[in-house]
Chain A
Amino acid sequence: MVNGTVIPLEVRDLNAWYGTRQVLKNVSLAVRPNEILGVIGPAGGGKTTMLTCLNRTLELAGGRSEGIVRIEGESVDKVDPNELRRRVAMVLPLPVGLPMSIYDNVAFAPRMVGVTNRRELDEIVERCLTQAALWDEVKDRLDQLGTRLSGGQQQRLTLARALSTEPEVLCLDEFSIAIDPVTTMRIEAVLVELKKQISIVLVTNLLQQARRIADRTAFMLLGSVIEEAPTEELFEFPKDKRTHDYVNGKFG
């Protein structure tokens, strides 16, 4: 609890392994309400693994973890994993339009939890596609295959799908890796708008992206969080020399 408000997502002393290789070492992070937490760092630093601990997909990938992950104060181990994954939405690096219509892509998750009323589904689909800044481009062809959209559109479709479960926390793992700069900027604007309602974890390999939209930023290196600070502070006055070197492009 910070100032009486529940912390949406909290990670404390988290360790994770693939086999005998330790990929996370005592990671502690917290996402505050209505903020974007940027996570930066070179490849292989454990950023993606950290995300897989948040929605418990690490175990599916054959890893294991120890430590505390809490969603709204509740340990994620006590939440049903499928329920957890609806509360902690994930946007993966590569855009994935599922091989069904655009409409069905967005209605997929609501249908799984039993929403069958057509008008209700229509509303969800329109809301999510609008939030993801895709509605205007596809509203006349919702029955077209999601796989036929361009890469940038598919990534916004992925985002719309992630929002369809009304998550409390939205995680994005290097979402801009396969899409064009214009779409990237549009999604960034969407995220800034979205944080009024939910909390966002933005793992990114683009330093400038974190700098543009993250409220606070954490720097991860070799499985540890080296430093976590308000974004400007981390970039301008890093306390750790390794952070300084990384944000100034000396390695990475």
Chain B
Amino acid sequence: MSAVPTPRRKQRRVASAASRYTEKAIEALIYLCGLSAIAFIVAIFVFIGREGLGFLVTHLVEMLTSTDWSPTQDPPVFGIVALLAGTFWCVGLSLVFSVPVGLGAAVFLSEFAPPRLREGLKVIVELLAAIPSVVWGFVGVMIINPGLQAMGARIGLNGLNGAILLALMTLPLLVSLGEDALRAVPETYRQAAIAMGATRWEMVWRVLLPAARRGLLVAVLLGVGRCVGETMAVLMATGHSINIPKGPFDPVRTITATIAAELGETVRGDAHYQALFALGVLLFLITMAVNFVADFALRGRRTR
């Protein structure tokens, strides 16, 4: 070993030093990227929090007990119960459609579709995700609206309309995340079930779905987060009327639509302006809570 010539050794040491610097630089860059993501979230929260948090704290009781949202009245009333009801009504109703269809499609893609069909369908599903929400709103107004009226709705722009749109918008997310979760189930589980004489359906139902349930839950929760924050489509399609819904055909108004529709009309810094920011804070907290639950579920899957 002592016969190794010195110059060659030196050369190698220089090269490794250079690569070590590159390594360090890349590491620092990645670190910075990670930090910036956190910084942006904090900055957004600080921004909307500064305008709305104070209002939220001082008016919390009024907001959560009154169903009357009349910000321009004198004196103004800032009850958000109806808005919250509108948001959760639309989201809940949309899940009734999107969860069975989305997860069903995920099972079909991952377990039953022949490879070529699967690739084709995945492209189409991803295309669905690329449709802007204002276009969905347009679909709601022009297509679903008359459809619902034909089915007997007094007003076609209502909670059900918004829910259908939300379902369509979250389907791509549910399908692709759901399929990922199913594909992450080891092939050996499938083989083991089949080797015991399970049919494909029994294999899916008794082995795959239980094994992938955390991943599927994450898919649904991320879908919920997306629904809660969706604005334009629900603004256009839900009828935008303050109302605690008693049935799917009742028009509703969501938190997001309220902010989008009213922020332009407010005077900067007045009570109405602050109330809208308080709604923003609330929305932020809701979506964050949903994402935390999703994250928690995912972590549970990893450590198991």
Contact = CB atoms under 8 A, between A and B. Distances in A.
What's the interface size class on A, roughly? 20 to 34
Interface in B145-204: 186, 188-189, 191-199, 202
A83 B197 contact: yes
Nearest to A99: B211
A99 B189 CA distance: 9
A68 interface: no
A98 B189 contact: yes
Interface in B232-264: none
Contact of A165 (B188, B189, B192, B197): B197
Contacts, number: 61
Contact of A108 (B188, B196, B304): B196
Contact of B195 (A90, A99, A112): A90
Given A98-B207, A108-B206, A82 B198 contact: yes
**A-B residue pairs, 10 tightest by C-beta:** A86-B197, A85-B197, A109-B196, A90-B195, A82-B197, A96-B192, A96-B188, A99-B211, A82-B199, A112-B202
Contacts of A86: 196-197
A172 to B, nearest CB: 11
B269 interface: no
Contacts of B199: 82
Interface in A165-187: 165
Q: Of A83, A96, A161, which is in contact with the most chain B CB atoms at under 10 Å from its CB?
A: A96
A89 B198 contact: no
Interface in B192-227: 192-199, 202, 206-207, 210-211
B205 to A, nearest CB: 10
A60 B200 CA distance: 11
Given A96-B188, A96-B189, A57 B195 contact: yes
Given A98-B207, A99-B210, A108-B206, A161 B192 contact: yes
23 contacts: A57-B191, A57-B194, A60-B194, A82-B199, A83-B197, A85-B195, A85-B196, A92-B188, A92-B191, A92-B192, A92-B195, A94-B188, A96-B188, A96-B189, A96-B191, A98-B192, A99-B210, A109-B198, A112-B196, A112-B202, A112-B206, A113-B197, A164-B196
Nearest to B211: A99
A85 B195 CA distance: 6
A96 B191 CA distance: 9
A137 B185 CA distance: 27
Contacts of A99: 189, 207, 210-211
Contacts of A90: 195
Contacts of A243: none
Interface residues of B, number: 18
A15 interface: no
A76 interface: no
A85 B191 contact: no
A89 B210 contact: no
Given A100-B210, A108-B206, A112-B202, A158 B192 contact: yes
Contacts of A205: none
B197 A112 contact: yes
B94 to A, nearest CB: 30
Nearest to B212: A99
A165 B195 CA distance: 10
B209 to A, nearest CB: 11
Nearest to A91: B195
Q: Of B194, B196, B198, B202, which is in contact with the most chain A CB atoms at under 10 Å from its CB?
A: B196
Contacts of B198: 82, 108-109, 112
Interface in A16-71: 55, 57, 60
